[in-house]
């Protein structure tokens, strides 16, 4: 047995070299599952058909070569061949006996060449008596498109076994009597369409009169120009099972009218995807389509398994029209997404509800992307819906209307209502024995988020709540025993973190993949994902992290971590050790840190050395860049890590500088007379601290233009001039920013204020009962919050003057844990040397001096 397997593997991998002219080219032989020999000769530069291949080949692939002519007897040596693929060559001529000897050929593909099919020799296909499939599409089009295009019926008439024909559709087509010989033809596909609305063109009732009535599948897709159809166009195909007009701009009105031959018959697929387009907007064929009872009179009678009406321009429908099918039990797939249907009312929902409750065999029902035109909607493929998110073939899909107040059918496994711009007032979904596996409620507008009973999520494997603020979603502390994939992008987790609320209250022990990208997160607690220890793939890209969160070191099964497009400057020692450990255990596979804010300096030298020597695999790691702290130059991180001695030779001198500063400060503190220390202890401490801080900030490149930015309203101006400025600027020698004094004329106020806050070490708000009436108060609060949580803003100090607690702005209350409050009197006659007042000024001085 083993010898047979080795022999078979050897035969599969045989390579032969074929001499063709002066150039040596090679074909690869392989065996398919039926042990038939296949010759792979594609992309080899052949200018003619090679004649010295094995005579036992069953399939010859000669696509993507330079063959221009098929000469007589080109394939005479390959009598056993059943499949011949000549796609994407330069073939412009086929001689009459080119296919001589191919009596067993079943499949011939000569598509994407330069063949003018009107001049094909009449007997060119006479040797192909068993040919089943012919693709001669995407070839040369005629020079004059305004005259009748006569298809060579004489050449095709000899293909009496043909079942599948793919050709191009040209203007004014004429299919002669010879096509009546193709009685076994069941599939007719027009792969490329050249039709358009010019010279009074229309597809006539007689267009297909010479084709077999046994045709089962007709594809006229991709005609991206409007043209007219006569109502009797399809009357010669009474047994049609698949009608595909997708991407052909014939307009939905015409498409519905040509269905009359199929009344009260069974059909597998009617695909009308994107047959109305915004380029069509005439009185008889408007861009905005309203479905009427008259338009539905043929379609409603057909027993259809799959119907695709996506992107057909439907904006409204009459009662008893769009969902009034006489055989709803036939449906397995119904797609009506990407239309501009009206806001759903209770009456509309009842029609949909009645329809799908009667559609007892429905597996897929998709009405996503409603009410507006979306730029890039994701469509289901009506022929291969099982490929969507790789769900198994047995999965049943269901797309719910937005107003919901009922139970889910027990057979539903796929629930999708994404990108629906409708705000339902209430929604409640109950389940009993439901096998729901896929739930996507992303990017919708909700007043109250749909409530699901616990039974709805017992089998849930995929959950997508992206694009919906987490504040709207109220997940109870329930168990999701089978949840494997969770997507929470663009849900503003940062707001929940700011308020100290839980955003992962549910338990999902089998959770493997989590996506929390695009959430403005700058920090997460160490207990994050504590209940989900088996996560293998974590995406936290496009946030505001300045370092890798420590909680990831608790995820002992993590394989992939994406932190691209953040603000990470370095990786701390603990995380580095964990990454090395996980990599050495062959658990961790890839780390994505692309497009971060890495800094190359003496302070990050350990990280740079680790980056060069670690075995961790970085996605696109060779293209990471960093900023050199000395000259602000941007350079490849890999280049710096390989040459650390070149870039950071003076790092030891810097260390001694820090040591020297510390020694000087210590000596100064020891030898100053004790009495002086006692009397001026606070002044000395603050002075030394300020000096040391400036040295440290200089080395860390944290340069501030102002010590404080002062935000106030007009009633505080007198107090500031009389009390605040003399203290801060004259006595304490600090520099503050006042917009009335320091804002330059001509500057954009918002930009100038934002830049000044960024350049300030602290922000001081003087809050009175009229503060929020000012034009810029709320803006300055929001900007200070942003700088506090994303950059190097040290403190937010709030001076309360004659204000009650309830009058403090909510914006300040919401960040009260990160704010320092001081109460001072607004009265201009305050006693400057009072004990309480001195303590307040001393507290303000300490806050401004100390970080």
Among candidates 451, 439, 489, which has minimal Cα distance to 469?
Answer: 489
Q: How far is CA 485 from CA 405, 451, 537, in A?
A: 27, 20, 9
CB contact at 8 A, 58 and 81? yes
- Whole-number mean pLDDT of the chain? 82
Q: What is the mean pLDDT of residues 198-213?
A: 90
Report the distance separating Cα 456 and Cα 810, nearest Å: 38
CB contact at 8 A, 661 and 692? yes
Three-state SS for 605-630 is: HHHHHHHHHCCCCECCHHHCEEEECC
Nearest 5°: the CA angle 8, 12, 16 is 130
Q: What is the mean pLDDT of residues 404-425?
A: 63
User: Which two tokens mark 576?
Assistant: 């580095």
Q: What is the mean pLDDT of residues 164-189?
A: 95
User: Which two tokens mark 590?
Assistant: 């890839």
Tell me what pLDDT residue 408 has: 62
When pLDDT is cut at 50, 70 and 90, the band that residue 2 belongs to is very low
Nearest 5°: the CA angle 53, 57, 59 is 115
> For the segment 525-574, what is each residue's pLDDT rounded down to a tens digit?
877 776 788 899 999 999 999 999 988 998 999 999 999 999 999 999 99
When pLDDT is cut at 50, 70 and 90, the band that residue 9 belongs to is very low
β-pair type (242-244, 217-220):
parallel
Report the distance separating Cα 189 and Cα 164, nearest Å: 8
Report the distance separating Cα 308 and Cα 270, nearest Å: 6
Report the distance separating Cα 783 and Cα 61, nearest Å: 65
CB neighbours of residue 369 within 10 Å: 24
Tokens 């600090």 belong to residue: 734
Tell me what pLDDT residue 362 has: 80
Return the axis-axis angle of helices 835-849 and 681-699, rounded to nearest 10°.
20
Q: What is the CA radius of gyration of the chain?
A: 38
Provide the 8-state DSSP code for 420: B
Most confident option among 289-298, 670-679, 718-727: 289-298
Q: What is the mean pLDDT of residues 486-513?
A: 80
Report the distance separating Cα 207 and Cα 778, nearest Å: 71
Tell me what pLDDT residue 10 has: 41
> For the segment 112-135, what is each residue's pLDDT rounded down to a tens digit?
999 999 999 999 999 999 999 999
Return the axis-axis angle of helices 573-584 and 605-613, rounded to nearest 10°.
10
Report the distance separating Cα 703 and Cα 699, nearest Å: 9
User: Which two tokens mark 758?
Assistant: 């960024």
Q: Which residues pair with 244 in a beta bridge?
A: 219, 271
Among candidates 348, 355, 364, which has minimal Cα distance to 323?
Answer: 355
User: Which two tokens mark 230?
Assistant: 């006569």
Residue 189 has pLDDT above 60, yes or no: yes
Among candidates 99, 49, 84, which has minimal Cα distance to 69?
Answer: 49
Report the distance separating Cα 145 and Cα 196, nearest Å: 10
Tell me what pLDDT residue 473 has: 55
User: Which two tokens mark 363?
Assistant: 């597996």
> For the segment 477-497, what is each residue's pLDDT rounded down to a tens digit?
677 889 999 998 988 888 877
Range in 89-103, 281-295, 656-670 with the lowest mean pLDDT: 656-670
Residue 301 has pLDDT above 60, yes or no: yes
Report the distance separating Cα 706 and Cα 146, nearest Å: 76
Q: Is the dihedral of CA 185, 186, 188, 189 positive or negative?
A: negative
CB contact at 8 A, 154 and 120? no
Tell me what pLDDT residue 6 has: 43
CB neighbours of residue 846 within 10 Å: 14
Tell me what pLDDT residue 23 has: 39
Report the distance separating Cα 393 and Cα 438, nearest Å: 14
User: Which two tokens mark 545?
Assistant: 């992290």
CB contact at 8 A, 529 and 555? yes
Tokens 């107090």 belong to residue: 719
When pLDDT is cut at 50, 70 and 90, the band that residue 382 belongs to is low
CB contact at 8 A, 491 and 515? no
Among candidates 145, 152, 244, which has minimal Cα distance to 195?
Answer: 145
Most confident option among 143-147, 201-205, 376-380, 470-474: 201-205
Helix (H, G, I), strand (E, B) or coil at 350: helix
Report the distance separating Cα 422 and Cα 370, nearest Å: 8
């Amino acid at each position: 047995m083993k010898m047979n397997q080795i022999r078979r593997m050897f035969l599969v991998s045989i390579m032969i070299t074929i001499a063709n002219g002066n150039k040596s080219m090679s074909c690869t032989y392989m065996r398919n599952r039926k042990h038939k020999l296949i010759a792979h000769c594609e992309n080899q530069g052949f200018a003619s058909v090679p004649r010295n291949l094995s005579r036992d080949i069953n399939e010859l692939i000669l696509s993507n070569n330079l063959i221009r002519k098929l000469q007589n007897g080109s394939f005479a040596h390959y009598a056993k061949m059943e499949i011949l693929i000549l796609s994407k060559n330069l073939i412009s001529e086929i001689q009459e006996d080119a296919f001589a000897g191919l009596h067993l050929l079943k499949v011939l593909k000569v598509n994407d060449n330069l063949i003018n099919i009107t001049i094909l020799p009449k007997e060119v296909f006479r040797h192909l008596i068993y040919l089943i499939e012919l693709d001669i599409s995407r070839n040369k089009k005629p020079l004059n498109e305004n005259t009748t295009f006569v298809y060579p019926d004489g050449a095709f008439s000899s293909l009496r076994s043909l079942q599948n024909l793919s050709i191009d559709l040209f203007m004014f087509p004429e299919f002669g009597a010879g096509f009546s010989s193709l009685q076994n033809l069941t599939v007719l596909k027009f792969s490329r369409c050249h039709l358009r609305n010019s010279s009074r063109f229309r597809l006539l009732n007689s267009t297909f009169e010479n084709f077999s009535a046994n045709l089962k599948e007709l594809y006229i897709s991709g005609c991206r120009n409007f043209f007219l159809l006569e109502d009797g166009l399809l009357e010669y195909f009474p047994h049609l099972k698949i009608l595909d007009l997708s991407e052909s701009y014939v307009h939905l009105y015409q498409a519905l009218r040509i269905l009359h031959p199929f009344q009260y018959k069974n059909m597998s697929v009617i695909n009308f995807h994107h047959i109305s387009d915004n380029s069509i907007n005439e009185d008889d064929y408007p861009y905005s389509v309203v479905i009427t009872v008259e338009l539905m009179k043929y379609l409603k009678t057909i027993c259809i398994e799959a119907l695709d009406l996506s992107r057909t321009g439907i904006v409204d429908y009459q009662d008893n029209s769009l969902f009034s099918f006489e055989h709803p039990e036939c449906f397995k797939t119904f797609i009506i997404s990407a239309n501009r249907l009206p806001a759903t009312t209770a009456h509309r929902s009842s029609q949909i509800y009645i329809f799908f409750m009667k559609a007892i065999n429905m597996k897929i029902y998709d009405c996503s992307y409603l009410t507006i035109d979306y730029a890039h909607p994701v469509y289901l493929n009506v022929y291969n819906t099982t490929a969507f998110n790789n769900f198994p073939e047995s999965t049943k899909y269901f797309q719910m209307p937005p107003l919901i107040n009922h139970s889910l059918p027990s057979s539903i496994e796929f629930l999708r209502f994404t990108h629906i711009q409708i705000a339902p007032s209430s929604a409640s979904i109950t389940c009993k024995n439901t096998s729901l596996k896929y739930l996507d409620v992303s990017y919708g507008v909700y007043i109250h988020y749909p409530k699901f009973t616990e039974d709805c999520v017992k089998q849930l494997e995929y959950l997508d709540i992206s694009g919906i603020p987490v504040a709207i979603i109220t997940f109870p502390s329930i168990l999701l025993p089978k949840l494997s994939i969770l997507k929470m992008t663009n849900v503003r987790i940062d707001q929940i973190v700011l308020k100290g609320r839980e955003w992962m209250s549910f338990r999902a022990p089998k959770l493997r993949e989590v996506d929390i990208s695009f959430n403005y997160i700058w920090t997460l607690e160490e207990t994050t994902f504590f209940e989900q220890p088996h996560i293998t793939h974590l995406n936290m890209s496009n946030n505001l992290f300045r370092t890798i969160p420590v909680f990831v070191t608790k995820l002992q099964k993590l394989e992939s971590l994406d932190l691209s497009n953040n603000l990470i400057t370095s990786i701390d020692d603990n995380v580095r050790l964990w990454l090395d450990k996980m990599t050495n255990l062959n658990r961790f596979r890839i780390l994505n840190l692309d497009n971060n804010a890495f800094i190359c300096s003496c302070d990050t030298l350990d990280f740079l050395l680790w980056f060069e020597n670690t075995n961790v695999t970085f996605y696109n790691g060779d293209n990471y860049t960093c900023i050199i702290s000395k000259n602000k130059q941007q350079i490849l991180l890999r280049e710096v890590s390989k040459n650390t001695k070149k870039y950071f030779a003076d790092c030891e001198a810097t260390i001694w500088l820090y040591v020297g500063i510390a020694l000087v400060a210590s000596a100064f503190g020891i030898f100053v007379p004790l009495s002086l220390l006692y009397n001026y202890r606070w002044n000395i401490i603050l002075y030394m601290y300020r000096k040391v801080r400036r040295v440290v900030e200089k080395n860390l490149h944290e340069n501030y233009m102002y010590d404080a930015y002062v935000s106030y309203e007009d009633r505080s101006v007198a107090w500031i001039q009389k009390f605040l400025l003399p203290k801060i600027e004259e006595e304490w020698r600090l520099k503050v920013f006042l917009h009335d004094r320091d804002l330059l004329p001509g500057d954009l106020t918002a930009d100038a204020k934002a830049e000044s806050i960024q350049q300030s070490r602290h922000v001081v708000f003087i809050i009175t009962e009229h503060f929020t009436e000012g034009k810029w108060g709320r803006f300055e609060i929001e900007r200070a919050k942003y700088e506090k949580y994303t950059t190097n803003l040290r403190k937010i100090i709030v001076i309360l003057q004659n204000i009650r607690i309830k009058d403090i702005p909510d914006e300040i209350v919401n960040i009260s844990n990160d704010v320092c409050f001081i109460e001072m009197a607004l009265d201009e006659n305050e006693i400057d040397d009072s004990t309480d007042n001195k303590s307040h000024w001393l507290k303000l001085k300490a806050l401004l001096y100390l970080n």
